[in-house]
Structure 1
Amino acid sequence: MSTGDHDDIRALLDDWTQALRRKDAAGIMACESATIRQFTLAPPLQQSGGDGAELQSWFDTWEGPLEFESRDTDLRLGGDIAWCSAFAWLGGNKIGQGKVGFWYRLTLAFAREDGRWRIVHTHESVPFAMEGEPLGLFDLKP
């Protein structure tokens, strides 16, 4: 692992985080590969690429900036591929609902494309109650 690659990915993560907090779909997409494969908390099961309009529409359901924080980030690099996993906090003022927020699990995969690191895969999840109806557990904390 080169220190330069590690620093480049950390800078990419910072750009992505700041764009998320600003609710800037174009800024998010600038960090991603055009061929990104996403398993997000929102349906459908998989999303790929797009023009950012759907993401911006979701951002528009929030009042003011989003709160985002990550903890226990584990970044691994090998050649032109890297990944990180973390606990992530997302919160803010949801229009019509007020203040909301929750912790979830986040994994990002990166690849070097044309000399630049890009996010090529996103996986977001919450644990599910294993007894009774399978409901997502949004009240857990790291």
Structure 2
Amino acid sequence: MLEEDKIRQLKENLSRAIREKDAKKANKLFVKNCVLFLMAPPLMEKFDEGLEGLNNLENWFLTFENGIGLETKELEITNNSDIAFLSSLEHLTGKRTDGSETDIWFRETLGLQKIKGEWKVTHQHQSFPMHMDGTDKAATNLEP
């Protein structure tokens, strides 16, 4: 299997774990000392002992009534023998337990490292563009 195919498979495995609300499977794709810049606070998270039991992924999953919709568009991969970067647009959908609906597009960048022959996520960055009209509001209503 080509390295780019392995990288695409890791991305699909991560997306599938989120769609299936399986925190254990999702967390196994990250290195122990990963750095996360996610949409939800805090501003940055760094896990020296790994994600298992430390991040709030399971709690976030509980805010969705059923499955989570997650679709990837515009996936770009840059890689060499042991480092890779993925950038994409992500479409997150689902009905929340508070009765609201989530239907947003956001940007994501993943930094990967090949460790003992296996690709792992070392860095995850998710973001929204900001309206630059003085309102300082996230532009959560954009579509590709």
Q: TM-score range by the shorter chain?
A: over 0.9
In 1, the alpha carbon distance for the partners of 2:102 and 2:118 equals 35
In 2, the alpha carbon distance for the partners of 1:68 and 1:59 equals 13
In 1, the alpha carbon distance for the partners of 2:93 and 2:45 equals 22
The structure with the greater share of residues assigned to strand is: 1
Q: Does 1:70 align with 2:72?
A: yes
- Structure 1 residues without counterparts, runs of 5 or longer: none
In 2, the alpha carbon distance for the partners of 1:18 and 1:59 equals 13
Q: CA deviation at 1:60?
A: 0.5
1:10-46 superposed Cα distances (whole Å, 9 cap, x missing partner):
1111111110101111111111111110100011111
- Structure 2 residues without counterparts, runs of 5 or longer: none
Sequence identity of aligned pairs in percent?
29
SS at match of 2:66: strand
RMSD of equivalent CA atoms: 1.3
SS at match of 1:130: coil
Runs ≥4 in structure 1, deviation > 3 angstroms? none
Q: Residue in 1 aligned with 2:116? A: 114
In 2, the alpha carbon distance for the partners of 1:42 and 1:133 equals 20
In 2, the alpha carbon distance for the partners of 1:71 and 1:81 equals 22
Superposition map of 1:5-44 within 5 A:
5-44=3-42
SS at match of 1:63: coil
Q: Residue in 1 aligned with 2:128? A: 126
> How many equivalent residue pairs?
140
